[in-house]
């Protein structure tokens, strides 16, 4: 069984999110949540909340299907980080000009799977 959770338009650069995503990819959910709790990166709480959401989605999916779900058997099957649209802002510069400032966003997708697959 698979369960997914998506976060779109997260206000952080995909390059920064990818560092933390590589830490938890392929790990058990308990181990991943523990690592994310103690990782001192801006994207760690964002990914932690997303993994918790995916666990809740898996529980709801199993409940709807009438199946038994062992939460300890879940692991992070895949975690994908993509680039979202830039927020465009402008800074004033010399001689009445303006320079664009691009503030990046990220799209993050977490897929959880069970070990018996």
Question: Could you report the per-residue pLDDT of 81-116, keeping only the tens digit for each?
Answer: 999 999 999 999 999 999 999 999 999 999 999 987
The pTM for the full model equals 0.91
The Cα–Cα gap between 30 and 28 comes to 6
Instruction: Tell how strand 98-103 and strand 87-92 pair up.
Output: antiparallel
The Cα–Cα gap between 79 and 65 comes to 24
pLDDT value at residue 45: 97
* Locus of tokens 């994310």: 36
Listed in sequence order, the residues at least 6 apart from 30 whose beta carbon sits closer than 8 Å to its beta carbon are: 72
- Six-digit token pair at 45? 């709480």
Q: What is the dihedral of CA 60, 109, 45, 32, to 10 degrees?
A: 70
Report how many domains make up the chain.
1
| 3-state secondary structure (DSSP) of residue 109 | strand
At 87, which CATH number? 3.90.470.10
Question: For 7-60, what is each residue's pLDDT tens digit?
Answer: 999 999 999 999 999 999 999 999 999 999 999 999 999 999 999 999 999 999
Containing structural domain, residue 39: 2-114
């Amino acid at each position: 069984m698979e369960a997914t959770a998506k976060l779109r338009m997260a206000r952080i650069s995909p390059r920064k999110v990818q560092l933390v995503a590589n830490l938890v990819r392929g790990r058990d959910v308990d181990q991943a949540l523990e690592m994310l709790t103690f990782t001192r990166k801006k994207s760690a709480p964002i990914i932690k909340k997303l993994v918790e959401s995916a666990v809740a989605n898996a529980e709801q999916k199993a409940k709807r299907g009438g199946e038994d779900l062992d939460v300890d058997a879940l692991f992070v099957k895949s975690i994908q980080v993509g680039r979202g649209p830039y927020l465009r802002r402008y800074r004033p510069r010399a001689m009445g000009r303006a320079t664009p400032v691009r503030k990046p966003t990220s799209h993050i997708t977490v897929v959880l799977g069970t070990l018996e697959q």
